[in-house]
A and B are shown apart, each in its own frame.
Chain A
Amino acid sequence: MKKFTMLVSLFCVCAFLAFGAGSKETPQQVVKEAGPITLTILTTATTQNPEGPLAQEFFDEFMRLNPEIKLEVTGVPMNQALTKITTLAAAGSLPDVFVNTENIIGQLYDMGICEDLTPYMTKAELENITESVRIGSTMENKLVLYPWYSGPNALIFRKDWLEEKGISAPKTLEEMRLAAKALTADTNKDSLVDRWGFGMIGTNDDSGQTRFVMILRGFGAKELYFQDGTWKTDIGSPASVEAFKYFTNLKNVDNVVPAGALENSFNENVNLLAAEQIGMLIAGSNSVGKIFSANPGLKGKIGSVIVPSGVTSYTPSSILGWSVNPSSKHKEAAVKFVKFVSSKKNAIKWVEVTGRIPCTNDAISDSEYLNTPLFEGFVAGFKAMEQAPNAPYYAEVKNVLGRTYQKLILNPALDATKEVQAAGREIQKIIDNNK
């Protein structure tokens, strides 16, 4: 009996390994299509507000204009996009069109799941994509991400509060620190600070890490860069130590950051700004839509300026768009869809509702909304965007940075130089492990 059971089990395992694991060629790829096309879409837009309803409006309009194409849309939150796409790709169930961003483009391209879209585009269409975005969407001369919108970071500030203090918008990191000190106050005179100069996103996630990298690079130190055929890091250098000290001192020495800095994520900081509890925040242009949606009374009181510089300034590339599954049977329809969503008319409408910046030259120049003083910093940041390192282990490197700034914030007595040098060694180990 035991032997028989084992034999049956073994048979099942073999059968699964043979057929289950090999079932990546979906029936969709074998069976010829008949009738109207069903295009499967994976997007983050429908899970967000105020993006969701407008995105749905675009999808409905596309189906109305193209009755032969039916869209089957699945929503995924941004922080789960990579997990979802990887799982679907591994299972051979990748949709025809899926979300892609500058953060995950390298990993998805390495998996071979992004169609080169260059052949589907005219020269004029390609040239219409803003240069920095086009570079960020291209891997090995292949346009593998069709850009939809960009959300470059800038320093958002309370214009009215700075004017009250007679301070102009900070251009350098030192000016930003001093402005934050000036804005921090006990407004109701109960001996407790209730207004903070700077909203720190100190969480050890991509949101917090990316903002820290802007400050780090402002000090002239790079967390990861490619030089002479190899990846290198500046973490551990005196400039990087100064960057860590500057960032952690905002909380520990200058006291310009509200309590709970290590747990306050992007959304919590946006809420604090909308609740008039913080005066400045490094955030993407999309936060403007969220702030006004939470507190319409702030319209006209908010300004933006490019992320302040130290010895240099750095705004990482921020692009969200679409990739087309190379195994899709409906590539033409897929490209038609992504072009429609990113069209000038839709892009202009999109920025007005969500604050997210279009990626094409014609939409940017024709959008009156983008040319208001509110967007000054974001547009400047958009033009200065630089591509972040596309090493597949970049997320791990950023995690080391996040852990280090959290450690220094929690333990002000620690020797910052030693901790940053230890982080540098850890990053070097990651680089070596991946050689």
Chain B
Amino acid sequence: MIKNTTDRLRQNSLGYIFIFPALFVLVAMIVYPMLYGIGISFFDTNLVNKWKFIGLKYYVRLLTDENFGRSIVKTLIFTFGTVAGRTFLGLLFATILVDKRIPFKPLFRSIIVLPWFFPDVVIGLLWKWLYNTNYGLINHLLLGLNMIKAPVEWLSNSSTAMGAVILVSIWKGFSFMVVMLMAALQTVSQDLYEAAEIDGCGRIGKFLHVTLPGIAPVLSTTVMLESMWSFKHFTLIWNLTYGGPVDATNVVSIDIYKTGFQYMRFGESATRAVYVFIIVIVISLLQRKFKNSKGY
């Protein structure tokens, strides 16, 4: 048995040597930071000279922390709004852009992916200016069209702030959905549409019974990716509202940042991050289960 194992190791040694650099990078860049993050969640620490072991204290405290619960709810609203908006727009534009009758398709495709190329910080600052109550372009246009009587405080009103942030997030990221769905749509066989037409399907029927099942594997994977990215999203929201006004856009990533880098409670901040990690894993598992049940 031992001889067998040694032989196998010797036989595969070259393979192990080849995978070692990739494995090393994976461990260094993913496994170690993750373990380190989980490790500090058991400490009351400033990461420099204070390392007080407190065990599961933060985990227990967060379970009854109303503010943390509220930030999770805000995150779910942001995630749902963003993913739903991106999916709707992605489907709409992808369907239009795969239509052979549309002229200048490469031009439209290039324009649509433009927001995706800009860094989040740039987009955040740009939209902050557009939304500005006093000199923003949106208020200026709406006032000019007599659609509003006074400037709207888009980002400093708790009833409009989350919607305004979600809108920017949708605008920034729907192009990824368009690209993915266009690729998926091109794989759906034309024969199926013809067969559906013969069976008496209209436009909606063809979309529901041919297009959607045809793109479902790509769509579900993209929705899962978008959900996980949106759940952890930070930059756009921070640049637009810093989590305010009051706590209207205080999603969990902002909560984690503030707890760590403003209040210097890195242990508690890491605990929040671990909870987010668990939630994202659960979302991923549910999605996988759903995919398997549908046989994708």
Please list the residues of chain A having a beta carbon within 8 angstroms of any beta carbon in chain B. Answer: 1, 4-5, 8-9, 12-13, 16-17, 20-21, 82-83, 86, 89-90, 107, 110-113, 202-205, 258-264, 272, 277, 392-393, 395-396, 399, 403, 406-407, 410
Contact = CB atoms under 8 A, between A and B. Distances in A.
Given A9-B27, A262-B244, A392-B264, A4 B153 contact: no
Contacts of B263: 393, 395-396
A86 B245 contact: no
Interface stretch (B47-55, B174-182, B206-214, B221-229): B47-55
A259 B150 contact: yes
Given A89-B48, A403-B244, 13 more contacts: A8-B20, A13-B27, A86-B46, A86-B264, A111-B50, A203-B244, A262-B157, A263-B153, A263-B245, A264-B134, A393-B263, A403-B246, A406-B246
Interface string B150-193: 11010111100000000000000000000000000000000000
Nearest to B25: A12
Contacts of A21: 36
A410 B28 contact: no
A260 B134 contact: yes
A82 B261 contact: yes
B247 interface: yes
A83 B258 CA distance: 10
A86 B261 contact: yes
B245 A262 contact: yes
B16 A4 contact: yes
B132 A407 contact: no
A262 B6 CA distance: 69
Contacts, number: 108
Interface in B206-256: 241-242, 244-247
B31 A262 contact: no
Contacts of B31: 9, 12-13
Given A13-B31, A90-B48, A396-B263, A263 B23 contact: no
Interface residues of B, number: 38
B50 A110 contact: yes
A173 to B, nearest CB: 24
Q: Tell me the dominant secondary structure on chain A's binding face.
A: helix
B27 A262 contact: no
Contacts of A13: 27, 31-32, 35
Nearest to A411: B158
15 contacts: A1-B12, A4-B16, A8-B23, A9-B27, A9-B31, A12-B23, A12-B27, A13-B27, A20-B32, A89-B47, A261-B156, A263-B155, A393-B263, A403-B246, A407-B246
Q: Tell me the dominant secondary structure on chain B's binding face.
A: loop
B261 A90 contact: no
Closest 3 pairs (CB-CB, A-B): A260-B133, A262-B156, A90-B47
Interface in B82-137: 132-134
A278 to B, nearest CB: 11
A107 B20 CA distance: 42
A205 B261 contact: no
Nearest to B128: A263
A204 B264 contact: no
Q: Which of B155, B245, B263 has the most CB of A within 10 A?
A: B245
B24 interface: yes
B262 interface: yes
Contacts of B282: none
A83 B133 CA distance: 30
Interface string B3-39: 0000001001000100010011001100110011000
B296 to A, nearest CB: 27
A262 B153 contact: yes
A108 to B, nearest CB: 9
Q: Which of A12, A260, A410 has the most CB of B within 10 A?
A: A260
A1 B27 CA distance: 17
B48 A259 contact: no
